[in-house]
């Protein structure tokens, strides 16, 4: 979609796009119907929604478009994705991984108590929503009745959750997972949990996350705001990792492999599913480029030289 006549300024571009973006697109390549609706003009700290490009270069876009895209299930990967399935397959598991639970155990009482607290603090609507920003988008592990594209403020997506020495990492090359860190904003999806069996579904999601209680956040969607829980990181927690450069994070992601697969696969799947929601996270796209470069240059084993990592708790 091009808006060549919309004007030169960001304001004119946004105004011109509003007039143009009532469309039904038919794609014979398998995407049967895409209904694009302009929900509102809203200021964003970053312009990371595609396919629109309003000329934002990392600066505030005062009149960027908030767009919710309703699509049939998409099967194709984003264009120009450098971290291909072939490169992901190069990362192989070459060391023994401790069996599940061979480490610090989270007592069942934590999950039960956390679930009870969440169910007791539901908003007036009585609905339970969960904000998905990473693997919950493509491997939810629970039953959800509805998904809405949305955005939260005050938190941003970051590789700051570690070290994982079993799930997608190992003792030699631990993994570093996505979490929500303070500041900025994050585009993702709000998932509504089925009312029937809500607590059981909530427990299933809680058990796949580190024992950091989730927080209530407001998710701005095209249909209106919803209150949802979000799995944020705690900067005072042993799970919080900071201070790594982009290159160091890419080194981790290009080598780590665990019981559930590799970190390269985790990154690939997250980028693909964000793009199917119309969300272009430039940080993740830059990271997948760095990881692709590393996997394209190594010998296929994923062993590019082990680095000595701090001995932190596993989850």
Supply 190's token pair. 């709000």
**How much is the average pLDDT of 119-139?**
96
pLDDT in tens, 40-76: 223 223 333 322 222 333 333 222 222 232 233 344 4
Catalytic residue positions? 209
Is residue 108 over pLDDT 70? yes
**E strand residue ranges, the chain:** 23-25, 34-41, 65-71, 129-132, 144-164, 175-193, 215-221, 226-230, 257-258, 261-262
Is residue 165 over pLDDT 50? yes
Question: Going from the N-terminus, what domains does the chain have, and what CATH number goes with each?
Answer: 10-71 (no CATH), 85-297 (3.10.490.10)
**How much is the average pLDDT of 206-231?**
97
What percentage of the chain has pLDDT greater than the value 90?
Answer: 61
**How much is the average pLDDT of 132-161?**
95
Is the model more confident about 100 or about 201? 201
Cβ neighbors of 28 (< 8 A, separation 6 or more) are none
Q: Where would I find the H helices in the chain?
A: 10-20, 85-88, 108-120, 198-206, 246-255, 263-276, 282-297
pLDDT for position 156: 98
pLDDT in tens, 258-314: 999 999 999 999 999 999 999 999 999 999 999 999 999 654 444 444 333 333 333
Residue matched to tokens 């296929």: 300
pLDDT in tens, 241-259: 999 999 999 999 999 999 9
Distance CA 177, CA 257 (A): 12
Q: How high is the mean pLDDT of the chain?
A: 76
């Amino acid at each position: 979609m091009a808006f060549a006549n919309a004007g030169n300024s960001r304001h004119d571009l946004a105004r011109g796009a509003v007039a143009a973006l009532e469309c039904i697109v038919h794609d014979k390549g398998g995407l049967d119907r895409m209904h694009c609706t302009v929900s509102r003009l809203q200021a964003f700290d970053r312009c990371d929604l595609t396919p629109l490009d309003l000329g934002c270069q990392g600066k505030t876009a005062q009149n960027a478009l908030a767009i919710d895209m309703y699509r049939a299930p998409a099967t194709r990967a984003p264009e120009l994705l450098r971290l291909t399935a072939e490169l992901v397959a190069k990362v192989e598991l070459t060391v023994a991984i401790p069996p599940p639970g061979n480490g610090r155990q989270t007592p069942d009482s934590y999950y039960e108590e956390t679930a009870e607290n969440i169910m007791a603090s539901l908003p007036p609507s009585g609905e339970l929503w969960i904000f998905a920003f990473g693997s919950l988008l493509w491997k939810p592990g629970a039953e959800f009745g509805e998904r809405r594209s949305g955005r939260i403020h005050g938190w941003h997506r970051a590789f700051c959750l570690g070290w994982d020495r079993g799930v997608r990492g190992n003792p030699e090359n631990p993994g570093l997972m996505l979490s929500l860190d303070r500041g900025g904003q994050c585009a993702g999806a709000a998932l509504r949990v089925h009312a029937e069996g809500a607590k059981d579904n909530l427990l299933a999601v809680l058990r796949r996350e580190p024992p950091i209680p989730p927080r209530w956040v407001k998710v701005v969607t095209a249909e209106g705001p919803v209150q949802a829980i979000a799995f944020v990181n705690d900067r005072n927690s042993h799970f919080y990792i900071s201070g790594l450069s982009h290159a160091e994070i890419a080194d981790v992601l290009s080598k780590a492999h665990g019981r559930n697969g590799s970190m390269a696969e985790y990154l690939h799947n997250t980028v693909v599913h964000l793009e199917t929601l119309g969300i272009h996270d430039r940080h993740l796209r830059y990271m997948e480029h760095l990881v692709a470069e590393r996997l394209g240059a190594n010998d296929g084993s994923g062993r590019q030289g082990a680095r000595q990592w701090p001995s932190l708790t596993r989850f």
